[in-house]
Amino acid sequence: MSHDVSSRVMSGAEGSMATPIWKGRLTFIMAASGSAVGLGNIWKFPYVTGENGGGAFFLVYLFCVVGFGIPLLMAEIGIGRATRKNALDAYGDLSQRAGRHSAWRWTGGVAILTSFLVLSFYTVVAGWCLYYFWLTVTGEFSAADRITQSFTSQTFDHLLSAPTLLIIFGSLFLLATYMIVRAGIQGGIEKAINWLMPMLLVVLLILVGYSISHGSFSEAAKFLFFPDFSKLSLNAILVAIGHAFFTLSLASGSMVTYGAYMPSHASIPKTAIMVAVIDTLVALAAGLAIFPLVMEYGLAPNAGPGLIFMSLPLVFGHIPFGQIFGAAFFFMLFIAALTTSISLMEPSVAWLEQKSRLSRTQAATVIVALLWLLSTAAALSFNLWNAPVFADRTLFDALDGLTANIMMPLGGLATALFCGFCLKGTQLRDMFGDSPIIKPFRISVRCIVPCFIVIMIIASL
């Protein structure tokens, strides 16, 4: 693999290998937004917004994004870029330079493990998307009289009960991710992202146009945007905190690792804001692509697999050009999942490549083999191995719960404390420039993030 020498820079410590850098700020923005925009934006955000008070919930969510999402995003990108290393060494290096305990590096180590575990079950769900793309393309959902609610739920149940289908489509998805990550930062991820992200946005806009013209826009807009403050319960606020965290891909090493490849001249605060704005706009657009159709057909708006794999195929089975737009929808979902999974595989591959004598290809191969084993085991928890492995949960649910409820909140808290109390002022200025944002950033990582995460952890217990 040959990298353009002029675009390589030496990383801080002597003797360490040069880290490849992306061509421009735009590539970084697309890669980081690609990580952030995923299944969470499409199947979760629209629903939780509508369900928890529409516009009122959206205001709380925006507060969370501004109050701690963007600051944590800045922190992670900054930690990566300041060191140009894998997440473990990035935290390690910075704590050493600040004269602090080297144990801080485990914040990065746990983050790498988090991305690995998230990818193992994300692969399973992404495999479902790929399978549904296949079903729509081959016309499985296009004979209107056959497509009933029981047909679509049987189709989904059949998938979940078939180990071979789950393994085949999960493996195909993992293979696609592997091919891209293996080819490196510039030759693989940058090239792929430059194609995939524009494609994702174009398909999404076409779907929004189609949905607005064929569905009931006013009902969907009311569900999504009408501010109903009576629905804004304490639980709704917790959902907003959790979702802001999840949707920005925080505390999993992805943003630290991508930050290591960010060009030195790009402004981190501005870039972090752009990523959060794109992520939020895509989530709103996803709502406008889905709900007008779902409501036009009198179906209840719900969240998760039920919405995507049962309600939508039903709609696509009955609507004009449903086969084409259904295929476009599942293709979009596949791309969204792929750009996310790339960012989930990169932290462990970068770590292994830098810490061992393995080449990039070898490191990626070792990681993907381990991921394949774990994701296959997670897939089997829907059928052959449908048994509790931990605290009454199947392996799939345990991986989800462990990462979302424990590892990510604690990782976010550690990163905030690291930036708030461990790094020196000069280190922060090196990261962000002499920006007026440093003061509010400090307030956020010292007070707002810890408060919110402690509330979240207490509530989840």
Considering beta carbons, is residue 248 or 295 the nearer one to ligand TRP? 248
Which of 124, 126, 181, 344 contacts ligand TRP by CB under 6 A?
344
Query: Which one of residues 86, 254, 339, 354 is an interface residue with ligand TRP (CB under 6 A)?
Result: 254
Interface positions, 272-331, toward ligand TRP (CB under 6 A): none
Phi, psi of 9 (to 5 degrees): -125, 155
| Adjacent-strand bridge partners of 8 | 20
Give the one residue of 34, 40, 313, 326 binding ligand TRP; rule: CB under 6 A.
Answer: 40
- Cα 46 from chain centroid (whole Å): 16
- Residue from 107, 177, 257, 343 touching ligand TRP (CB under 6 A): that is 343
Candidate ranges 144-152, 296-304, 336-344, 357-365; the one touching ligand TRP (CB under 6 A) = 336-344
Least distance (Å) between residue 241 CB and ligand TRP: 14
CA dist 13 and 171 (Å) reads 38
Choose the stretch contacting ligand TRP; rule: CB under 6 A; options: 36-44, 184-192, 305-313, 350-358.
36-44
257 binds ligand TRP (CB under 6 A): no
CB 225 within 8 A of CB 58: yes
Q: Which is nearer to ligand TRP, 41 or 152 (CB)?
A: 41
The piece of 163-171, 205-213, 244-252, 385-393 that touches ligand TRP (CB under 6 A) is: 244-252
CB of 320 to ligand TRP, least distance (A): 30
Buried (b) or exposed (e) across 105-133, using 16+ Cβ within 10 A? bebbbbbbbbbbbbbbbbbbbbbbbbbbb
User: Which residue in 370, 411, 324 sits closest to 107, CA to CA?
Assistant: 411
Amino acid at site 182 = R
Listed ranges 83-91, 151-159, 187-195, 246-254: which one lies at the site for ligand TRP (CB under 6 A): 246-254
CA-nearest of 193, 177, 188 to 30 is: 193
Residue 372: CB atoms within 10 A of its CB come to: 18
Tell me if 35 contacts ligand TRP by CB under 6 A: yes
CA distances from 406 to 80, 446, 450 (A): 23, 20, 14
Which of 216, 323, 340, 354 contacts ligand TRP by CB under 6 A? 340
Q: Which of 11, 247, 354, 375 binds ligand TRP (CB under 6 A)?
A: 247
Residue 156 binds ligand TRP (CB under 6 A): no
Which residue is associated with the tokens 């990782």?
411
Site stretch for ligand TRP (CB under 6 A), options 11-19, 32-40, 380-388, 410-418: 32-40
- Nearer to ligand TRP (CB atom), residue 37 or residue 207: 37
Instruction: Report the nearest approach of ligand TRP to the CB of residue 32 (Å).
Output: 10
- CA separation for the pair 163, 170 (Å, rounded): 10
- Residue with smallest beta-carbon separation from ligand TRP: 38
Binding mask 83-122 for ligand TRP (x = CB under 6 A): --------------------------------x--x----
178 near ligand TRP, rule: CB under 6 A = no
What is the enclosing helix (H) or strand (E) of 166? helix 163-182
Question: CB 344 → ligand TRP: shortest distance, Å?
Answer: 5
Q: Is 267 helix (H, G, I), strand (E, B) or coil?
A: coil
Does the protein bind ligand TRP through residue 246 (CB under 6 A)? yes
The string of DSSP codes covering 414-447 is HHHHIIIIIS-HHHHHHHH-S-TTHHHHHHIIII
* C-alpha dihedral (88, 196, 128, 330), degrees to nearest 10: 150
Site of tokens 């739920």: 153
Q: State the residues that interact with ligand TRP by CB under 6 A.
A: 35-36, 38-41, 115, 118, 246-247, 249, 252, 254, 340, 343-344
